[in-house]
Amino acid sequence: MRHSYRSALVTGASSGIGTSFARRLAADGCHLVLVARRTDRLDRLAGELHKQHDVTVEVLPADLGSAAGLAAVRARLTAGDPVELLVNNAARSARGTLAELTPETIDAQLSLNVTALAQLTRAAVTGMLDRGYGGILNVSSMASLTASPGSAVYGATKAFVTSLTESLHAELAATDIHVTALLPGFTHTEFHAANDVEISYLPDIAWLDPDTVARAGLDAVAAGRPLAVPGAQYKLAASTVQLAPRSLLRALARRYRGV
Ligand SMILES: NC(=O)c1ccc[n+]([C@@H]2O[C@H](COP(=O)([O-])OP(=O)(O)OC[C@H]3O[C@@H](n4cnc5c(N)ncnc54)[C@H](OP(=O)(O)O)[C@@H]3O)[C@@H](O)[C@H]2O)c1
């Protein structure tokens, strides 16, 4: 059955794909809880969406890499008004080989991309099981499908997201809770500048726009599909990756990432 969610919590809503999720959901009449660290941006977006679409928009400032921030968002998922759709979108990366990363940078990626995502998913699912209805949309990456030399920790966190999400999809297959992993390729957002990710080598065909990516994810979770890969070029790449020998994929990744 196709879902139509009346309320959603979006992490990382202050920029990029997260803002696109919020805009699209509000346009569909969905009440929102917006999470990120930059409160000024969330306040502006909340005001705009409330005015344009007459939906309720709560702003919940939180650093999901901190215990206190994570606890605040978990509490909102378990104790506040029901949230029918959770969009786990916030994530970070860092430039450098594993040996070049500091211990703190590794921890920061694991805390946000892995721990927060798993804990928020669990918090949301318990309420959804009680209500018998809901959706979880976890933003992963095409990087989850191959080796990621030069951003090994980031790639591994996204492999975790895809694996966790597919497992949860299977665990909840007999319920009316839809669980989807969204696997974008390179998308025009603040992500690369914010995380010092090298993108100068990429051709135009590699790029997606954030509204297209958000729409693909929301359509997939409404329909109950386990995986969403936006863009024809990345659909083709995802199918090829399933068939190609991993040794070839590793060699290609190494060549194009220049490490
Ligand atoms: N852009 C791409 O090419 C691409 C490709 C594949 C997958 N993705 C995935 O798409 C998702 C969205 O990324 P994006 O491209 O839209 O990047 P973005 O524009 O940099 O947005 C990242 C969002 O995460 C929030 N965030 C970062 N650290 C946070 C923290 N500690 N606590 C709470 N919120 C935090 C940021 O808000 P604040 O700074 O205000 O906290 C921001 O709203 C991520 O999961 C990313 O891995 C992106």
Ligand 1 probe mutation, 10, 15, 74, most atoms within 8 A of CB:
15
- Does some domain include residue 2? no
How many structural domains does the chain have? 1
Structural domain containing residue 179: 7-257
32 with 83: CB under 8 angstroms? no
Ligand 1 probe mutation, 10, 17, 200, 213, most atoms within 8 A of CB:
17
Atom of ligand 1 nearest to the CA of 208: 3
Q: What's the gap in Å between 259 CA and the centre of ligand 1?
A: 24
Which helix (H) or strand (E) segment holds residue 7: the answer is: strand 7-11
Atom of ligand 1 nearest to the CA of 66: 31
- Does some domain include residue 157? yes
* Residue 135, domain CATH: 3.40.50.720
- Does some domain include residue 41? yes
Structure tokens at 39: 């409160």
Q: What's the gap in Å between 192 CA and the centre of ligand 1?
A: 10
Tell me the average pLDDT across 177-203: 92
Q: Whole-angstrom Cα distance, residue 3 to residue 182?
A: 17
Q: Parallel, antiparallel, or unpaired for β 7-11 and 177-182?
A: unpaired
Q: What is the pLDDT of residues 208-244, one digit of tens each?
A: 999 999 999 999 999 999 999 999 999 999 999 999 9
253 with 245: CB under 8 angstroms? no
Residue 248: which residues within 8 A CB-CB, separation 6 or more? none
Which helix (H) or strand (E) segment holds residue 136: the answer is: strand 134-139
Q: Provide the CA 77 distance to its chain's centre, in angstroms.
A: 17
Active-site residue set: 154
Q: What is the pLDDT of residues 133-153, one digit of tens each?
A: 999 999 999 999 999 999 999
User: Is the pTM for the entire model greater than 0.85?
Assistant: yes
Helices (H), ranges, the chain: 16-27, 39-53, 67-79, 103-109, 117-131, 152-171, 191-194, 210-223, 232-243, 246-257
Q: Whole-angstrom Cα distance, residue 165 to residue 130?
A: 20
122 with 76: CB under 8 angstroms? no
- Does some domain include residue 241? yes
Q: What is the pLDDT of residues 43-69, one digit of tens each?
A: 999 999 999 999 999 999 999 999 999
User: For residue 258, what pLDDT is reported?
Assistant: 61
Q: What's the gap in Å between 32 CA and the centre of ligand 1?
A: 18
108 with 123: CB under 8 angstroms? no
Q: What's the gap in Å between 195 CA and the centre of ligand 1?
A: 9
- Does some domain include residue 1? no
139 Cβ inside 6 Å of ligand 1: yes
Tell me the average pLDDT across 187-193: 94
Q: What is the pLDDT of residues 23-42, one digit of tens each?
A: 999 999 999 999 999 999 99
